[in-house]
C-alpha cells in the first residue's frame, strides 16, 4: 500500500510552529516514500474558526515550500458523511444519547474531586429506557451523543517513534462525546476525535504523524476505528517543542506562529532546516541541508522521544549560514521588502545600487531584518554622531583630512572602488598621516559611527546616492564648532 499522510490544522489561529514541524515531518515521510501528502482543514469549531486563519495556514505552508498533493479538504463540507456515521453507531448500539446537564456534570466532577478520583463521566445514561429518554426530552434537555468505551480493556499500538504504547480504557474519562444535537433535535457536527477518524478512513491515511499531546486521543480513536470495522493506520507521535526551561513553548517564549518568524527575517529554507532538526537528526550528523535532501534519508528511526528544546541561537546560526551562501541577487530580492517596510525610499536608487549594497552588508546578516538596521544611514541621515565618532572628528589634523577629502571628491565625477582608493592614498600623502587615520575619519564623517560595513564600498555607495559630500561638509562644520 502506498503511503498517504496528512496535516490537519484547525483554523482557530495562525499557523503554529508545532503544526509547521508536524507538516515538515509528514512532508518528509511522504516524499521519502514517494507517497501522497494531504492537507485537511479541521474547521468544525464554527465559533473559533475564521477564514483569515485558513488563509494564514495556506500562505504559511506556501512560504515554507510545503506543497500538498490533495486538498485542502474542509470538514464543514463533509457534515452529511459524519452524521450518517454517527447514526450508524447509534443504530448498532455503540453510541447513545446522554441528557446530563452541565450542573449534573459539575456535581459529578466535584464529588470525584472530593473523593480524590480522576474526573470522568460515569456512564450514567448509557442504558436509558425509552421512557427515561422521553422524560428528559419533555424537560427540554438537549442531549449529546456519547460513544461507548468498554472497560476494562487495554488499547495498544506500535508507535513509529515510541514503540509499543498501551492505554487502559479506564483512563480515558468514560464514554466520550462524539457529536452534539442541534436545536431541531438532529445530529450536528461531530467533535474532533470522531471526525478525524472518519476523515482518515475516507482519505485512506496510512500513517498519522502528529505531536505526542495526541497520544490519549489515539487510544480513543483506535476504539472508533474498531467500532467502524476498520483497521487503524500506523501512528507516530513526535516530541513536543519545548522552551529552554523544558516547558511546552508558548507565546511567552517569543514568536510561535510561522508568519511571525517570516516577519522577523528568517528565510523558509533555514526555518525548514531547523524544524527538521527539532526532534530528528540525519545519520551523518549534518546540520545544514535542504528539505529535499532530508527527504532522501528521513526515517522515524532517527526521531527522538524526548522533547525538542527550541534554541534561538541555533536557528539564528542556520539562518545566517543560508543567507551567506545565497547569490547576491537572491538576497537582494529577499531583503528589499524589509527595506520598504522600514520606510526607506528605494525609488531614488537603481537595481545595481541595491545589488552593491546587498553585497556589502550580506556578510553581516543574521536575519533579513538586519538589513534595515545595518543600511539605515544609506537611506536616512543620522541624527547625531556617537561619542567615539565625535571624538574622532575633533582637531586640526582631522579638519585638514576632511577638507582634503571634500576637495578631492569635488574633482571626481564618478567614484568606484579604484578611484576611492586613490583618493584615500592621495589624502594620506598630502596630510602626512597614516592611512588608518584617514579611513577612521572618513567612517566617522559618513556614518556617524566607528563601526559598520567596509568603508570604501560605503563611500562609493553614498557618493552615488549624493550623500558623501554633504556628510563630509557636515563633519567639517562639527569640527569647526568643537
Q: How far is Cα 477 from Cα 338, in angstroms, rounded to an integer?
A: 34
The structure's pTM equals 0.92
Chain centroid to CA 13: 12
Beta bridge pairs of residue 165: 157
Q: How far is Cα 357 from Cα 457, in angstroms, rounded to an integer?
A: 8
Residue 144 dihedral angles phi and psi, to the nearest 5°: -115, 170
Residue 95 dihedral angles phi and psi, to the nearest 5°: -145, 165
**200 three-class SS:** helix
Please report the pLDDT score of residue 246 as a whole number.
85
Q: Is 251 a catalytic residue?
A: yes
pLDDT, tens digit, 9 for 90 and up, residues 318-368: 999 999 999 999 999 999 999 999 999 999 899 999 999 999 999 999 999
Distances, alpha carbon 457 to alpha carbons 407, 461, 462, in Å: 19, 6, 9
> In the sheet that 4-7 helps form, which strands lie side by side, from edge to edge?
4-7, 36-41, 70-74
Q: How far is Cα 321 from Cα 367, in angstroms, rounded to an integer?
A: 10
User: What residue numbers does the annotated binding site for ATP cover?
Assistant: 251
User: What residue numbers does the annotated binding site for Zn(2+) cover?
Assistant: 98, 100, 125, 127
User: What residue numbers does the annotated binding site cover?
Assistant: 98, 100, 125, 127, 251
Please report the pLDDT score of residue 482 as a whole number.
60
Please report the pLDDT score of residue 46 as a whole number.
86
Among residues 46, 74, 39, 66, the alpha carbon closest in space to that of 295 is found at: 66
Exactly one of 88, 251, 286, 359 is catalytic; which is it?
A: 251
Please report the pLDDT score of residue 189 as a whole number.
85
CB-CB contact of 421 with 381 (8 Å): no
Beta bridge pairs of residue 308: 241
Please report the pLDDT score of residue 109 as a whole number.
95
CB-CB contact of 113 with 140 (8 Å): no
Distances, alpha carbon 30 to alpha carbons 67, 201, 239, 351, 355, in Å: 11, 18, 19, 41, 38
Q: How far is Cα 230 from Cα 336, in angstroms, rounded to an integer?
A: 53
- Give 3-state DSSP helix, strand, coil % of the chain, rounded to 5: 50, 15, 35
Task: Spell out the residues 6+ positions from residue 407 whose beta carbon is closer than 8 angstroms to its own.
Answer: none
Residue 141 dihedral angles phi and psi, to the nearest 5°: -75, 135
pLDDT, tens digit, 9 for 90 and up, residues 134-185: 999 999 999 999 999 999 999 999 999 999 999 999 999 999 999 999 988 8
How high is the mean pLDDT in each 10-residue block of the chain (482 residues)? 95 95 97 98 92 96 97 96 98 97 95 94 96 95 96 96 96 96 91 97 98 95 98 97 86 82 97 96 94 96 93 97 98 97 94 98 98 96 93 94 95 90 96 96 96 96 96 88 64
CB-CB contact of 145 with 98 (8 Å): yes
* Helices 51-64, 17-32: crossing angle, 10 deg rounding: 50
Q: Where are the alpha helices (DSSP H) in 203-265?
A: 215-227, 258-264
Distances, alpha carbon 158 to alpha carbons 72, 161, 164, 234, 236, in Å: 29, 9, 4, 8, 9
- Grid coordinates belonging to 402: 576632511
Q: How far is Cα 178 from Cα 195, in angstroms, rounded to an integer?
A: 8
DSSP state of 143: P
CB-CB contact of 12 with 53 (8 Å): yes
Using DSSP bridges, classify how beta strands 4-7 and 36-41 pair: parallel, antiparallel or unpaired. parallel
* Helices 328-341, 351-361: crossing angle, 10 deg rounding: 100
Amino acid at each position: 500500500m502506498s503511503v498517504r499522510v496528512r496535516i490537519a490544522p484547525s483554523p482557530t489561529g495562525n499557523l503554529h510552529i508545532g503544526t509547521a514541524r508536524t507538516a515538515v515531518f509528514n512532508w518528509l515521510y511522504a516524499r521519502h516514500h514517494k507517497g501522497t501528502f494531504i492537507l485537511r482543514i479541521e474547521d468544525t469549531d464554527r465559533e473559533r474558526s475564521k477564514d483569515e486563519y485558513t488563509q494564514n495556514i495556506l500562505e504559511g505552508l506556501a512560504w515554507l515550500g510545503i506543497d500538498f498533493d490533495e486538498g485542502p479538504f474542509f470538514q464543514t463540507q463533509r457534515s452529511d458523511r459524519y452524521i450518517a456515521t454517527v447514526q450508524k453507531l447509534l443504530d448498532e448500539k455503540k453510541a447513545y444519547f446522554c441528557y446530563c446537564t452541565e450542573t449534573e456534570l459539575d456535581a459529578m466532577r466535584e464529588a470525584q474531586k472530593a473523593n480524590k478520583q480522576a474526573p470522568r463521566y460515569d456512564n450514567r445514561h448509557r442504558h436509558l429506557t425509552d421512557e427515561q429518554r422521553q422524560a428528559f426530552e419533555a424537560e427540554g434537555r438537549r442531549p449529546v451523543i456519547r460513544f461507548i468505551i468498554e472497560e476494562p480493556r487495554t488499547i495498544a499500538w506500535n508507535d513509529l517513534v515510541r514503540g509499543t504504547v498501551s492505554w487502559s480504557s479506564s483512563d480515558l474519562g468514560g464514554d466520550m462525546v462524539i457529536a452534539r444535537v442541534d436545536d431541531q433535535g438532529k445530529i450536528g457536527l461531530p467533535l474532533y476525535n470522531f471526525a478525524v477518524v472518519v476523515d482518515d478512513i475516507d482519505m485512506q491515511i496510512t500513517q498519522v504523524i502528529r505531536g505526542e499531546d495526541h497520544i490519549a486521543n489515539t487510544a480513543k480513536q483506535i476504539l472508533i476505528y474498531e467500532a467502524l470495522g476498520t483497521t487503524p493506520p500506523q501512528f507516530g507521535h513526535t516530541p513536543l517543542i519545548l522552551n529552554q526551561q523544558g516547558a511546552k513553548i508558548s507565546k511567552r517564549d517569543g514568536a510561535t506562529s510561522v508568519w511571525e518568524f517570516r516577519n522577523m527575517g528568517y528565510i523558509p529554507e533555514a526555518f525548514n532546516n531547523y524544524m527538521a532538526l527539532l526532534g530528528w537528526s540525519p545519520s551523518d550528523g549534518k546540520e545544514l541541508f535542504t528539505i529535499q535532501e532530508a527527504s532522501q534519508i528521513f526515517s522515524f528511526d532517527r526521531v527522538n522521544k524526548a522533547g525538542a528544546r527550541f534554541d534561538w541561537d541555533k536557528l539564528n546560526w542556520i539562518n545566517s549560514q543560508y543567507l551567506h551562501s545565497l547569490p547576491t541577487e537572491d538576497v537582494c530580492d529577499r531583503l528589499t521588502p524589509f527595506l520598504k517596510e522600514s520606510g526607506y525610499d528605494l525609488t531614488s536608487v537603481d537595481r545595481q545600487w541595491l545589488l552593491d549594497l546587498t553585497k556589502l552588508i550580506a556578510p553581516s546578516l543574521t536575519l533579513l531584518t538586519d538589513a534595515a538596521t545595518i543600511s539605515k544611514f544609506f537611506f536616512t541621515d543620522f541624527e547625531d554622531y556617537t561619542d567615539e565618532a565625535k571624538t574622532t572628528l575633533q582637531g586640526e589634523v582631522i579638519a585638514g583630512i576632511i577638507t582634503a577629502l571634500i576637495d578631492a571628491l569635488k574633482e571626481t565625477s564618478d567614484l568606484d572602488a579604484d578611484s576611492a582608493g586613490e583618493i584615500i592614498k592621495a589624502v594620506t600623502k598630502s596630510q602626512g598621516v597614516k592611512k588608518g587615520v584617514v579611513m577612521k575619519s572618513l567612517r566617522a564623517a559618513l556614518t556617524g559611527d566607528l563601526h559598520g560595513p567596509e568603508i570604501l564600498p560605503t563611500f562609493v555607495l553614498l557618493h552615488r546616492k549624493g550623500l558623501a559630500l554633504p556628510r563630509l561638509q557636515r563633519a567639517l562644520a562639527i569640527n569647526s564648532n568643537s
